[in-house]
Structure 1
């Protein structure tokens, strides 16, 4: 634990490193001397009782009262001032307990200090367990940066530091994939360095949101296939949506350039990814529907229908984009939801260009938008 803490202290952007364990310190133990107790005709029970009464306290008698249904216990213990020592040496403890006397069977007063031994011992720290395994926690905070990068740096240093004494193995792919398994080369004893806390929460969040993103893609694609009965049209819509996601990455890159602190891709940014899939798909879907209507009902040529649909739907698409950008601008400066704001703003800007430029090009190169093969063809 000390070696790991030292590595964390040497890692850039990590602060407030601490080991969550009790410090081992020296203390004194009062041990009754059985031989001296027997020589003074005292009993072990007498010595134990006076020690317990003095330092812990105990009930020595009870009192009856007409105002109480039960007996009132009388609790006796030394006050705080009587327990205080002038120093931290064995002689100071002897002086303190010298005032405590015991009466033996002959009626003689025997000083407690004469029948106990004062032994210096080290404290026993509390042993922590988690899932029936002994653990020790080491904590660290990041200095205004994401926890991922400094912890990856620290992990690389640990693998280099422990490789001589331990066989270092990495954990399998999971949300604990940054864990290190150390096996002592001499004894075979195994240790696990587990990255928990914010690191685990971050990986869990990215895993869950990533799964939600993939599920959204699959559901959108199947709904489009059912609606249009065409894989080509569904592919055009999803292809345009994927291109709009490039804007999210570009937006974070630009935000990182113009802000003082590093602007990271966060969990809220992934929420923006999912939202953009719906926004971009809606723009493309309306454009394709309008084009198909012109071809089907107005018997318009395919290219002319695409041009008219793009010109007609441009205004609603622009107005929708402006509304999203203005609404998301309030989130862009927020420390938590800034990633969502930047993702929506930058992704929406790219989605507009994709809907009005990329999607029409793909539509012009497919006959899937013409339900009737005789319609939509160029007239000579």
Structure 2
């Protein structure tokens, strides 16, 4: 599989709980308690901390996911602390998958939606799978979002499907009879302040503690049981300008109303969000997107069109239903695109430098031929180790290009020097391979041994595999491809060795190859060495 980064082995994960909008706080708290009891059955869980109706402390991941805005009565977070990774056999990702499998049936039974959130190893995103829905009007856009969420549930590789759509629910508000309040000498601010003091939204002050890092505020509110009774709230005394206490019901009435649906915007365009996580063997967003594309082929939007899908930017118009795939896919695409461009620029610069060194356009192509051959070792290597091809794998691929070019230059340059001394091209190539194979093999072994140190790291495993397997296979193929290429283009080798460029222009003479030198020691035994010509 191809993905941005693999899942790291972290000491924690979160469970996000969403109840239907309008759910009372005690109901949400009871659901969180049931889910927490299920999590505590896992032996690797050492501690839990739940936050119901209030935002949990957020990290960088929570900043992107907007967890600091989760302060409604029907929202909750459970932070799960795991044992140290050295004291458990399963990784945090395996535990998160097990927790999802254990909690999902219970959450469905209790009417809750859950999301098991792991700490990302790379840049955090809103969620792994994100579909941004655009449409001609609010009703069409929201209906498409509901249908896409239903398709998310049908997809085999997508779990924790949810959306930012708000279920219809009613709330209560106090409508002030302004004429009566004015006649009785009561201001609107006074009524609002009394309601805030009783319902818990009024801040009296803070506790003065010199050792506290953050202020501790004092709130005044009625008990929860009394706050839910409008009859008791109606007797709330409100002071008038004359000092008389007037019951709240004298100044207005409580009425029920339907809460408006929120409207989300991105770049000044109305949008709806449908989210999900990708699970299973194909844990990269591109595979979930491809599965969704096949499901969308059989779906027709309310405005009568097939939903237009976009991968690298929002749709050009909102006059018809369309969506953009974002989330982890955007980060993956941008990362591999930029590294691919950088790799292409590096290849062009390497080619220019080698052309400047040899004064020929064919030999640099022969020298760089083993670079794509590294994939013969990299791709099967990832399959053999069961690892995804990640951004660190791409970094290893790019780094390996320089090492392989160095080996090729050694063989070609040594052959060129031998040809300049009058040796036939074929014999020069054989002599170069016999002389330079040992240091090339030692370099490859050093690379493989050094890379094996990071093989056990979940993040840099891809880089280690690329350097080890790609280096091993490409080194062996270099000893075959380079000699064959030099023999195939013997004319170019002779031109370079005899001081001519591809255009026939003279070039600086190459340094002559070292000549074999035969000397005898004091015992009369022969010793073979090399000596440079004067």
Q: TM-score range by the shorter chain?
A: 0.7 to 0.9
Which residue matches 1:227? 357
What residue is the counterpart of 1:280 in the other structure? 404
Q: Could you report, residue by residue, the CA deviation over 1:295-336 in whole angstroms, capped at 9, with x for unpaired residues?
A: 213x22221111111011110111011111111223333322
Deviation at 1:129, TM superposition (A): 2.3
The answer to whether residue 331 in structure 2 is matched with residue 155 in structure 1 is no
Please give the alpha-carbon distance, in whole angstroms, between the structure 1 residues aligned to 2:302 and 2:174. Answer: 45
- Note the C-alpha offset of 1:211: 0.4
Secondary structure of 2:173 counterpart:
strand
Matches within 5 A, 1:79-90: 79-81=220-222, 84-86=224-226, 88=228
Match of 2:391 in 1: 267
Larger Rg: 1
SS in 1 for 2:438: helix
Asked if the contact 1:167–1:182 (Cα under 8 Å) also holds between the matched residues in 2, the reply is no
Correspondence for 2:156:
12
Given that 2:305 and 2:320 are in contact with CA atoms closer than 8 Å, whether structure 1 keeps it comes out as no
Aligned CA-pair RMSD? 3.2
- Select the structure that is richer in helix: 1
Residue in structure 1 matched with residue 192 of structure 2 by the alignment: 52
Matches within 5 A, 1:120-139: 120-139=256-275
Equivalence for 1:98: 235
Please show how residues 291-370 of structure 1 align to structure 2 within 5 Å: 291-297=415-421, 299-366=422-489, 367-370=491-494
Q: Is the 8 A contact 1:22 1:126 kept in 2?
A: yes
Deviation at 1:28, TM superposition (A): 1.3
Deviating beyond 6 angstroms after TM superposition, the runs of 4 or more aligned structure 1 residues are 102-105, 179-183
Question: C-alpha separation between the residues in 2 aligned to 1:286 and 1:5?
Answer: 58
3-state SS, counterpart of residue 2 of structure 1: helix
Structure 1 CA distance, aligned partners of 2:258 and 2:354? 72
Give the alignment's TM-score, normalised by structure 2: 0.56
Range that drifts further, 17-26 or 288-297: 17-26
Equivalent pair of 1:181/1:193 in contact (CA under 8 Å): no
Aligned to 2:77: none
Partner SS, residue 193 of structure 2: helix
For normalisation by structure 1, the TM-score amounts to: 0.76
In structure 1, what is the equivalent of residue 134 of structure 2? none
Q: How far does residue 15 in structure 1 lie from its aligned partner after superposition?
A: 2.2
- How far apart in 2 are the matches of 1:78 and 1:251? 61
Please tell me whether residue 244 in structure 1 is matched to residue 370 in structure 2. Answer: no
Q: Take 2:300 and 2:456, find their aligned partners in 1: how far apart are those partners?
A: 42
What is the deviation of 1:284? 0.8
| SS in structure 2 at match of 1:281 | helix
Q: Cα distance, 1:122 vs. partner?
A: 2.1
CA spacing shift, 1:109–1:242, aligned 2, 3 Å: closer
CA contact (8 A) 1:181 1:192 kept: no
Deviations along 1:201-240, one digit per CA (max 9) or x if unpaired, are: 0000010011011111111111111111111101111222
Deviation at residue 49 of structure 1 after TM alignment = 4.2
C-alpha distance in structure 2 between counterparts of 1:302 and 1:352, whole Å: 22
User: What SS is found at the alignment partner of 2:183?
Assistant: coil
1:160: how far off? Answer: 2.6
Task: Give how far 1:79 is off.
Answer: 3.4
What is the CA–CA distance in structure 2 between the aligned matches of 1:231 and 1:162, rounded to whole Å? Answer: 55
Partner of 2:498: 372
Contact 1:8 1:14 in 2 (8 A): yes
Report the 3-state secondary structure (helix = DSSP H, G, I; strand = E; otherwise coil) of the residue aligned with 2:257: strand
3-state SS in 2 of match to 1:121: strand
- Give the conservation status (yes or no) of the 8 Å contact 1:169–1:181: no
Matched residues in 2 for 1:125 and 1:50: separation? 30
Q: For 1:165-204, list aligned pairs within 5 A.
A: 165-168=303-306, 170=308, 175-176=312-313, 189-204=319-334
**Cα distance between partner residues in 2 of 1:103 and 1:331:** 74
Q: 2:265 and 2:486 mapped to 1: Cα distance?
A: 62
Q: Is the 8 A contact 1:276 1:348 kept in 2?
A: yes
Measure, in 2, the Cα distance between the counterparts of 1:252 and 1:232. 33
Counterpart contact for 2:296–2:307, Cα < 8 Å: no
- The equivalences for 1:62-77 within 5 A come to none
1:213 paired with 2:350, answer no
